[in-house]
Amino acid sequence: MTDRNADLFERAKALIPGGVNSPVRAFRAVGGTPRFVQRAQGAHFWDANGKRHIDYIGSWGPMILGHGHPAVLDAVQKAATDGFSFGAPTEREVELAEAIVDLVPSIEMVRLVSSGTEAGMSTIRLARGATGRKKIIKFEGCYHGHADALLVKAGSGLATFGNPTSAGVPPEVVQHTLVLEYNNVAQLDAAFAEHGADIACLIIEPIAGNMNFVRASVPFMTRCRELCTQHGALLAFDEVMTGFRVALGGAQSVYAKLIPGFEPDMTVMGKVIGGGMPLAAFGGKRAVMEQLAPLGPVYQAGTLSGNPVATACGLATLAEIRKPGFFDALSARTRSLVDGLQAEARKAGVPFSADSEGGMFGFFLLPELPQHYQAVMKTDGAVFNKLFHGLLDRGVYIAPALYEAGFVSAAHSAQDIEETLAAAAQVFGALR
């Protein structure tokens, strides 16, 4: 029997670099053949061979309702018949801005764009323009899209400026980007003590889904807020992954419960906000956002920004997730997965730690939850790859990389969780 995934991958590799339009999809970290999705419905997708998978990626977060939710499908079909794109303002952009401002109290104004990269890149430019400063702080293991200034890795030893992670990024472009260790308060204090007057913003994933699932500790997040306030730097929350996913108000609403009065100055959003269509956003305080063109001197633009079909998809998605009980149910379902995996790993004697918030989860083949990137990367990649393929062979689709988070949708049933745990029990048993 031919393997249509393999056939399609060969065809794709002839014309598309690596056979994919985004690197993580190529399975380079885990090996093997990517599954080409033919169709998806609810918590499942069917690959090119017609095999059903329980989908714990969900387009890397957007598909919080599951695939093909009827209300969303209906909204998109109706919007499409009214026109795909106009390059002119529409009412739905206002409605989406109103919904975002209503759901995220720290945001007074918002600009819609088409990808998280665009939102992150624009946030950095706006922070620099609004403060007149050049330097930015990011953290090792956090990903904020592929804008040049953000493709920076930590150098050896302590905090370092400007080590590009990608070819094609000149050192001059990243010379003002300082990379610190996540959850390291001492480094944060030292960085602000030395550069505080020059820092435009600190950008952070409040729960780092690009390190699988690492929470900023309360002392660390408290210190980020204090130091930004003290030195006049903007605290930018990258909630592309966590926004409307870990809670209706995003990760900032989780930290506001832990740190009285806490809020960031700017927020980067994406994924869930578009419901699977190309839509992202960035927002913050009015005084900062009004620095943006056409009002202010910071330029930013986009042909498809606020696209009428994408905004319809996003609005329909937000309407569903804001229904009473949505996040309670999603959180409980996600926690049942994580607790079940922990129990099966323990039975099998496999070192394992896991965590979840709302509909986002992560797990590590490590006895304790890691607190930063270097700790995450102590995971035995070969063992993770065996776990990944063992689950995939059993129709359970998790992220093809040990540093990526997982996502449960409202469509994942108790039976899906049971099937997943049964598959995990078999795979854990074979890992020793």
Residues that bind ligand KE4 (CB under 6 A): 22, 24, 60, 115-117, 120, 143-145, 205, 209-210, 238, 240-241, 270, 280, 404
Name the minimum Å distance from CB 189 to ligand KE4.
25
Ordered DSSP codes for 227-253: HHHHHT-EEEEEETTTTTTTSTTHHHH
Query: Looking at beta carbons only, is 178 or 401 nearer to ligand KE4?
Result: 401
Name the minimum Å distance from CB 418 to ligand KE4.
27
Helix residue ranges, H only, 325-398:
326-348, 373-376, 381-393
Query: Looking at beta carbons only, is 19 or 209 nearer to ligand KE4?
Result: 209
Is residue 55 within 8 A of residue 43, CB to CB? The reply is yes
Catalytic residue numbers, as ranges: 143, 238, 271
Ordered DSSP codes for 95-112: HHHHHHHHH-TT-SEEEE
Name the minimum Å distance from CB 346 to ligand KE4.
28
- What DSSP character marks residue 428? H
- Omega before 294 cis (within 30°)? yes
Name the minimum Å distance from CB 404 to ligand KE4.
5
Instruction: Tell how far CA 18 is from the center of its chain.
Output: 23
Give the neighbor-by-neighbor strand order of the sheet with 396-397.
Answer: 37-41, 44-47, 52-55, 396-397
Name the minimum Å distance from CB 100 to ligand KE4.
17
Helix residue ranges, H only, 349-413:
373-376, 381-393
How many CB atoms are located within 10 Å of the residue 242 CB? Answer: 29
Task: Report the residue closest to ligand KE4, judged by CB.
Answer: 116
Query: Looking at beta carbons only, is 149 or 421 nearer to ligand KE4?
Result: 149
Could you tell me which of 252, 268, 322, 275 has the C-alpha nearest to residue 125?
Answer: 268
Query: Looking at beta carbons only, is 188 or 208 nearer to ligand KE4?
Result: 208
Name the minimum Å distance from CB 211 to ligand KE4.
10
Query: Looking at beta carbons only, is 24 or 348 nearer to ligand KE4?
Result: 24
Query: Looking at beta carbons only, is 106 or 114 nearer to ligand KE4?
Result: 114
- Which is it for strands 52-55 and 44-47: parallel, antiparallel or unpaired? antiparallel
Name the minimum Å distance from CB 115 to ligand KE4.
4
Query: Looking at beta carbons only, is 24 or 190 nearer to ligand KE4?
Result: 24
Which tokens in the block code for residue 329? 């149910």
Query: Looking at beta carbons only, is 146 or 394 nearer to ligand KE4?
Result: 146
Is residue 43 within 8 A of residue 383, CB to CB? The reply is no
Could you tell me which of 245, 301, 272, 236 has the C-alpha nearest to residue 96?
Answer: 272
b/e burial code for range 264-288 (CB count within 10 A of at least 16 → b): bbbbbbbbbbbbbbbbbbbbbbeeb
Name the minimum Å distance from CB 429 to ligand KE4.
29
- What DSSP character marks residue 198? G
Distances in whole angstroms, Cα of residue 284 to Cα of each of 39, 77, 123, 235, 237:
37, 32, 9, 10, 10
Could you tell me which of 81, 48, 113 has the C-alpha nearest to residue 277?
Answer: 113
